Amino acid sequence: MKIFNYSSKKANSVENFKKISKINHTNSTTIYKAQCKSTKKYFALKKLNKSLCLDNNGFSILYIREIKILNSIKHPNLLKIKEVTVGNNMCDIFIVSEILHTDLKSLLDKYNSYRNSVSINNLDSVISDSSYKSKFSNETDSILSDNMKNDTHIITENTNYDNTDLNLPIEVCKGVLIQILKGLDYLHSKKILHRDLKTSNILVSKSGKIKIGDFGLSRYYKEEMTNLIVTLWYRPPEILLGAQKYSYSVDIWSFGCIFGEIVSNSVLFKGESEVDQLYKIFNGLGFPNEGDFTDAPYFCNFICLPSYGKENIFKKFCKNEEEVISKLLIFNPCHRPQAKEVLADSYFQDVNDVGLIRNFL
């Protein structure tokens, strides 16, 4: 299978790039910020783990699949690949892609850190505080001020204000979510499952452009696939229960978790193991019906466990949000909406500027 699908017959050398700093490291990859020596432009340089590049059949199918998918997609809300380069030998493989300013997880962590440093003892002083205002543009100040006074997502009705209620303005959240949905809709239209949607894989440019990244677990749809997918907190229950037949609905569940996280400023289901993750899902949403998971072999193991549904996660959301997220996090994967159907929901129809997140970088 041809993986170096570029104009030259031979892949370029990684020596054409100067590594500036390490961005991230996992067991399978290391990502660097790098500069092209000839153009002086900056890129992300993703080094594939040498020990995982080869298997008994030659070059790893996982890496072939990732490169093939990256070469086949072109959408403003998906990470754009530049080329594939090699090091001193063919086992040193690097994926060169555009580099963005940050990712959604880092942005939320940074915002939460600042938010937690703000005293909410007096709401008016928070809104007028000069150091607070200096963090954001005038446009965002106006949004924050209006939402802090009127929106239940920003300040609760309780007079004892808590800084954990100082969430991102809902207009900002909607803009991010719309862009994720557009990228997801495109992927699904190409019969591609991402299979690892999470906030750290949602990239953010300085202009507020949102792009889905990290296609290491992505693959084209087929009848039966592995269930060793999706980071735990964003993994749908059917996968946790052992299903190997699944579809695009796994990405919709993960998107629902991202939706809840960005709007409520907290991870919805923060399990410490697969069993604990299921417990937290059932405790937050109630127990599913037996017919919800017909292809999940481990579901029968949970029927006799203690009662669930003691913590209703929908209490975190207003009515409009609850209506949307309850569709995304429905147990039966066959009943989850498609990305294009979620985009068409009235909840997302009043957004004039999807890039307001730029004011929080």
CA distance 211 to 75: 9
From residue 292, how far is each of 56, 256, 333, 352 by CA, in Å?
Answer: 38, 18, 8, 38
Whether 358 and 168 have beta carbons less than 8 Å apart is answered as: no
Whether 264 and 292 have beta carbons less than 8 Å apart is answered as: no
- Point out the catalytic residue in the list 55, 92, 162, 196: 196
Whether 234 and 240 have beta carbons less than 8 Å apart is answered as: no
Per the rule left: phi > 0, alpha: psi between -120 and 50, beta: everything else, 280 is alpha
CA distance 166 to 156: 9
CA distance 100 to 43: 8
Whether 205 and 211 have beta carbons less than 8 Å apart is answered as: yes
Determine whether 92 is an active site residue.
no
Tell me the catalytic residues. Answer: 196
